């Protein structure tokens, strides 16, 4: 059993003169909440916890990064809002349905290159009817984060040129367009793709991109403060 507070009492005996100092820990519930928040920050999907349908209780690190000026959702103070007028009503309906009727919803917001999907999930239990809680998961705008791709490439011994090709494939760029971007012949790109598949054991480009898509998150290394550069070099073997 965990003890919220650990202490060593002084009995006045000479044997206690070297006793360790009193140690006071935060209540277990408070520590659990910090561990929970830290866990959410290691997940590379944006996650927001909402109450009262629009009021934000918690935003993880990925969501804070994702909600930039180009994202169809925005935070205004402690409230979540849609940027496009066309998205306002669908978002409100989905959040209301989750909070009041326990309905899950997959919603597409934005348009063009900034179109994203969000998943809205009710979390409330029956006795939480007066303060329903909803989880909003942000879909990714690309397959394979840069750091994950670099870590994957390093672990498989890819060259710098092959890393560029791999990153482009994860963005959905076809080989002929990659060749035009890099300024090489299409045969060169095909050779590089063949080398990547050989080194990674992927049977096809689709299987290769799938390997990237299911990589575990590598986000924590970006929040190491003064040690971030050292941690990143260690991760990438630089």
Q: pLDDT (tens digit, 9 = 90+) per residue, 160-210?
A: 999 999 989 988 899 999 999 989 999 999 999 999 999 999 999 999 988
Q: What is the pLDDT of residue 229?
A: 45
Note whether 55 and 109 are same-domain residues.
Answer: yes
Pair 98, 183 in one domain = no
For residues 104 and 156, membership in a common domain is answered with no
Give a yes or no: residue 88 inside a domain: yes
Write down the pTM of the prediction.
0.59
Q: Are residues 48 and 131 in the same domain?
A: yes
Q: How far is CA 34 from CA 31, 39, 45, 59, 211, in A?
A: 5, 9, 19, 13, 31
Task: Look at residue 25 and tell me if it is in a domain.
Answer: no
Determine, yes or no, domain membership for 20.
no
pLDDT band at 12 (very low <50, low <70, confident <90, very high): very low
Q: What is the pLDDT of residue 219?
A: 53
Average the pLDDT over each of 6-10, 42-46, 96-100, 107-111 and give the range with the smallest value. 6-10
How many structural domains does the chain have?
Answer: 2
Question: From CA 231, how far away is CA 227, in angstroms rounded?
Answer: 6
CA distance 194 to 196: 5
Whether 78 and 174 share a structural domain: no
| Torsion angle of C-alpha atoms 23, 29, 31, 33, degrees rounded to 10 | -170
Pick the last residue of a domain from 105, 138, 171: 138
Domain end residue (candidates: 112, 138, 164): 138
Tell me, yes or no, whether 180 and 90 share the same domain: no
List the domain range (segments joined by +) for residue 85.
32-138
In a domain, 21, yes or no: no
Task: Tell me whether residue 4 is in a domain.
Answer: no
Considering the domain architecture, whether residues 100 and 158 belong to the same structural domain is answered as no
- Comparing C-alpha atoms, which of 187, 210, 186, 184 is closest to residue 197? 210
Residue 17 lies in a domain: no
Residue where a domain terminates, one of 138, 165, 193: 138
């Amino acid at each position: 059993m965990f003890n919220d507070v650990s202490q060593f009492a002084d009995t006045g005996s000479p044997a206690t003169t070297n006793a360790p100092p009193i140690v006071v820990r935060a209540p277990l519930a408070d520590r659990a909440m910090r561990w929970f928040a830290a866990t959410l920050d290691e997940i590379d999907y944006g996650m927001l916890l909402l109450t009262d349908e629009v009021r934000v209780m918690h935003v993880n690190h990925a969501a804070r990064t994702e909600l930039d000026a180009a994202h169809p959702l925005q935070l205004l103070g402690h409230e979540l809002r849609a940027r496009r007028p066309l998205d306002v009503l669908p978002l409100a309906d989905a959040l209301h349905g989750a909070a009041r009727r326990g309905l899950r919803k997959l919603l597409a917001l934005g348009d063009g290159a900034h179109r994203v999907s969000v998943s809205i999930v009710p979390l409330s239990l029956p006795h939480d009817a007066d303060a329903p809680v909803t989880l909003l998961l942000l879909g990714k705008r690309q397959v394979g984060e840069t750091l994950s791709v670099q870590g994957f490439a390093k672990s498989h011994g890819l060259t710098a040129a092959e890393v560029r090709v791999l990153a482009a494939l994860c963005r959905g760029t076809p080989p002929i367009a990659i060749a035009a971007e890099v300024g090489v012949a299409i045969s060169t790109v095909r050779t590089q793709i063949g080398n990547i598949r050989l080194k990674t054991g992927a049977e096809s480009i689709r299987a290769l991109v799938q390997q990237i898509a299911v990589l575990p998150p590598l986000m924590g290394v970006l929040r190491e403060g003064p040690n971030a550069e050292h941690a990143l070099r260690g991760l990438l073997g630089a």
